[in-house]
Each structure stands twice: as C-alpha cells, then as structure tokens.
Amino acid sequence: MDVQAVLKLADELVFSKTGKHLEYLQEAILRGAIEDRKYSQIAEEFHLSEGHIRDVACELWKILSNVLEENVSKANVRYILERAKFCNYSAIEKNYGTVNNVNICPQTPQSPQVTQQPQQTPTQLHIDLGDAPEIFSFYDRTPQLATLETWILQERCRLIALLGISGIGKTTLAVRLIDQIKTNFDYVIYRSLRFSPTLDATLTNLLQIFSEKTDIPQNIETQISQLINYLRQYRCLIILDDVQMLFSSGQLAGQYKTGYEDYQLFFKLIAEVCHNSCLLLNSWEKLRKLAKLEKANTPVRLLVLGSLGIAAKEILREHKLSDEDTWETLINTYQGNPLWLEYTATMIQELFGGSVSDFLECDAVILSESLQAQLDQQFQRLTQQELAIMIQLAKENDPVALPQILQAIPLSPSDLLNGMQSLGNRLLLDAKENGKTTFFSLNTVLKKYIKNRYNIVS
Ligand SMILES: Nc1ncnc2c1ncn2[C@@H]1O[C@H](COP(=O)(O)OP(=O)(O)O)[C@@H](O)[C@H]1O
Ligand SMILES: [Mg+2]
C-alpha cells in the first residue's frame, strides 16, 4: 500500500469536512497506525507521553469517524482508508487547494450531508515570491529535486539547508522546486536576505503575508510564536535565500553578525517545534549547530549542491559555442558551476568566436574579470588565517595533509584546525581520505584565482 497516498487522501477528506489540514502529530499517528505501530513507539519517537499520543489519537479517530461516517479506530483505520482509496473519491478535486464536494463510496449510499455540503471557503494557494528571479532555462538537477521533494512532502521535514558555493544554482533550484511542489501548500513564500534584514524585519514581513490586518507584535518572542501558529494552521513552504548575509565577514564561517544572533534560535525553533510547514534555507556557508540537529529521526536535512555535470552542456549550447567534443573538459575545469561557465562562455563567445578548443589551448584555466569579481565577494569574508591556508594550498601541486600545512605556515595548531574547519564549512576545500589521513586541495578555479589575486608565481 502507498502509505503516502493514503495519508494524502485522509488529509483531503478531513480538510473537505473541517477546512483544516491534518496536523503533523495527527499525521504521524495515522502513519503509525497504518504501519501497525504501538502508541508507545510513536510517543517515544516524538519524545511525548503515551497518554498525550492517545488523547490526540482519540480526537483523530473521532474526526475521521465523522468524515467517513463509520466508526474509525486504530485497528480499522488502515482498512477503511484503503477501501476509500479504491472507491470513487476522484470527485475530490484540488483546485489550488479548494476541495469540492466529496463523494466517497463506502458500502453505504452517499451521504447527503457530505455531498450536499456547501462549498468550503476556498483555501487558496498564496504565492508570494518577492524578488525571486524568473527562471528561463533549467537543466537537470533531477536527483536533487527528487530528494528535496521527498524530504518536504513525504518526510515532512521542517528545516532544510541547501548549501553550495555562489553560482552553483541554489536559487535556481529552489525556484524550480516551488514550481514542482507548490500545489501541496497553502502558502509558498520566497524571500532573499541579501540586504541582511534583522529577524524583526523578516518576521514582520512574513507575518504581513498571513494577515495584513493583525497588529504585528513588537516583541520577537511573540512574533515567532505567531508565525509558528500560522505554520501549524497552514501548510507553508518558506524559502529564505542568501542566508550567508546574516554571517560576519572576517570571522570564521557561520558566525552571526552582531544583532543577528536571534536567527539561530528562530531556526532551531522551526526545527524543533511541531508544525506543518517547511523552511528552506539557501546559504554559501553551513549554519552553525544545524549539523547537531540533523539526524535521521529529526525533521532537519542538509543538501550540498555540487557540479551540474554534463547537463551544463546545455548552457554552452545556449551560448552557441562550438567544438562540442571539448565541452566536457571545459565543464570539468570550471567545476560544473553554471555561473562560472556562463561567464566563461561569454568570454569564449566574445574573444574566441565561440571556439572552446582555441580557448582551452590558450591556458589551462582563464578567469574572466566577472568570475574573479564574483569570487572576491567570497574571499573578502575569510579570516587572515583562512586566507593564509588558502594561499598555501594554492601553492601545492598535490593534495596535502594537515601536518604539511602546519609546517609550511606559521599558524598555531588550533588556528589551523579552526581555519580548515571553517573553510570546509564555506565549501572551499576538496578533501579526500586515504587510509587514516585526509588530504586537502583546491579546485583549479580557486587555485587560479588565488594565484592571480595574490601574485603567486607557479
Ligand atoms: N540547473 C540549472 N539549469 C540552467 N541554468 C542554471 C541552473 N542552475 C543555475 N543556473 C544558472 O546559473 C546561474 C547561477 O545560479 P544561481 O541559482 O543564482 O546560483 P546560486 O544561487 O547558487 O548563487 C544563473 O544564471 C542560473 O540561471
Ligand atoms: Mg542565489
């Protein structure tokens, strides 16, 4: 049996009758009942008392009994929903969240109460994408889209971090994801934090979307609890992009700027408190403490976005480049980073008449000024110690282990280790394990950038 489809059916049925979606815990109990798990097991998983789970379950069976017009209990819910699934419930038509008259067919004739029920006030899909970019072309990312969809729709994750170096395609992927899954939500919201809004400003902005009339509380704590209420009441997908702008420059990765520390607590609450929504955070840098929250049995996930791979050929095709047999070399050199490839393709088009072979013959790696300017933004954020490590790694021809780096630069072991960890959190290092030793290196683009900017002669 497709548990997800049955849960979806139950949710639609409940919504059609009550105007409310199943809450996270109700859905978990239902899933548990379908999978024949004990209340005590569900309670343990959610760190709640068995008594509380039984109370919520009792209320849930009442709602379902009312909706399905027969006595529903933990013991028979699976059978009743499966039967309803195979019956004619196709009349449940979702029109941007509006559920029309329900026509399920248990053995009993259709219930006049259900079929003649006046239409519910439609719960419209509210989409507020703010200044999200319009996507004109989108290639591949099929596995990543599938992973995110599973995490959000099936595993009902509450907090997901989408990480990756600038230009790798986080924003594009998030906007494409919205298009793919938006009909599962009551609210879909996108906001960029590129101008570093305070938490107060962000929460005020979000709360206004849910209700223009309500007074927005002044106090952060009340704002957060009001927002969490909305996240419980509605199924929302909120994407906060450019989260790295909340972090300080010149400090180790993921340190909140002064006055922005509240965000950390906000993200933690979104992960830990029970609600029906998902917050997706896009960032260049890992979020501190998130790794601690991210465990298999928690609704928190982290996805690092890497190379676009050979799908990036489409980008080169769009730029009308020639010598297709050499495109893979170009893509590998520029790490499959769509933005780096776009900048480079423009240069090849303008200076080499579109010939990739001619460009590759010129030098192993050439960085256009736009690409370097783009990397400047990321390097400006590094501490002096991090920069010293990057410069040393740029000088190395082969991957090196920590003791070699320590020997080469005058840093204390603790500065070196913290610096390396922070560079890892900024996704700037390539690491490979060989036996018990980890060897570190830089990709060709970063190496070239450092050599250019810091006048390193190889
Ligand atoms: N999957 C993709 N297909 C086509 N173009 C892409 C894809 N991902 C990214 N791009 C292009 O690469 C550039 C950078 O993408 P963006 O999403 O802004 O990266 P990020 O948000 O990680 O900095 C954009 O011009 C975008 O159009
Ligand atoms: Mg972006």
Mind giving me the DSSP string for 196-213? Answer: ---HHHHHHHHHHHH-SS
- CA separation for the pair 70, 80 (Å, rounded): 9
Mutate which of 142, 168, 172 for ligand 1? The one with the most ligand atoms within 8 Å of its CB, which is 172
Q: What is the pLDDT of residue 43?
A: 85
Please return the burial class of 327, using the count of CB atoms within 10 Å of its CB with bins 0-12, 13-18 and 19+. Answer: buried
> Six-digit token pair at 140?
């591949």
Q: pLDDT band at 340, cuts 50/70/90?
A: very high
Q: What is the CA radius of gyration of the chain?
A: 26
Question: Would you say 418 and 252 are in contact if contact means Cβ atoms under 8 Å apart?
Answer: yes
Percent of the chain at pLDDT > 70 equals: 90
Sign of the dihedral defined by the CA atoms of residues 133, 137, 141, 142, in that order: positive
Q: pLDDT band at 121, cuts 50/70/90?
A: very low
Domain limits of the chain?
3-115, 126-304, 309-366, 374-453
Average pLDDT, integer, range 282-292: 87
CB-CB neighbours of 223 under 10 Å: 20
Average pLDDT, integer, range 91-108: 32
Query: Which residues keep their CB under 5 angstroms from ion ligand 2?
Result: 171
Whether 126-304 and 374-453 share one fold: the answer is no
CA dihedral 453, 454, 455, 458 (to 10 degrees): -100
265 pLDDT exceeds 50?
A: yes
Instruction: Please give the CATH topology (third level) of the domain spanning 374-453.
Output: Arc Repressor Mutant, subunit A (1.10.10)
Which helix (H) or strand (E) segment holds residue 192: the answer is: strand 187-192
Q: What is the pLDDT of residue 444?
A: 95
Q: Which of 250, 273, 262, 302 is nearest to 427 (CA)?
A: 302
Which helix (H) or strand (E) segment holds residue 281: the answer is: strand 278-283
> Six-digit token pair at 82?
């499966």
155 pLDDT exceeds 80?
A: yes
Average pLDDT, integer, range 373-394: 96
Q: pLDDT band at 170, cuts 50/70/90?
A: very high
* CA angle at 254 for the pair 129 and 210, rounded to the nearest 5°: 25
Ligand 2 centre from 264 Cα, in Å? Answer: 20
Instruction: Share the mean pLDDT of the chain.
Output: 87
Token pair 């730029």: residue: 319
CB-CB neighbours of 257 under 10 Å: 15
Q: pLDDT band at 91, cuts 50/70/90?
A: very low
Ligand 1 centre from 139 Cα, in Å? Answer: 9
Q: Which of 108-112, 121-125, 172-176, 366-370 has the lowest mean pLDDT?
A: 108-112
Percent of the chain at pLDDT > 90 equals: 65
CB-CB neighbours of 186 under 10 Å: 20
Ligand 1 centre from 137 Cα, in Å? Answer: 9
* CA angle at 221 for the pair 217 and 227, rounded to the nearest 5°: 70
Mutate which of 334, 339, 375 for ligand 1? The one with the most ligand atoms within 8 Å of its CB, which is 339
- CA separation for the pair 167, 284 (Å, rounded): 10
Helix axes 3-18, 77-86, angle to 10 degrees: 90
Instruction: Give the three-state DSSP class for 129.
Output: coil
- Ligand 1 surroundings by CB, under 6 angstroms: 137-141, 164, 166-172, 308, 315, 338-339, 342
Question: Would you say 157 and 299 are in contact if contact means Cβ atoms under 8 Å apart?
Answer: yes
* CA angle at 320 for the pair 315 and 321, rounded to the nearest 5°: 85
**Stronger pLDDT, 220 or 100, i.e. the higher one:** 220
Nearest alpha carbon, ligand 1 atom 16? 169
- CA separation for the pair 406, 389 (Å, rounded): 9
97 pLDDT exceeds 60?
A: no
Average pLDDT, integer, range 279-295: 87
The correct answer on CATH 3.40.50.620 for the domain covering 126-304 is no
Phi, psi of 392 (to 5 degrees): -65, -45
Q: Which of 41-45, 47-51, 80-84 has the lowest mean pLDDT?
A: 80-84
Of the ligands numbered here, which is closest to the C-alpha atom of 163? 1
Helices (H), 381-412: 384-395, 402-408
122 pLDDT exceeds 60?
A: no
Q: pLDDT band at 25, cuts 50/70/90?
A: confident
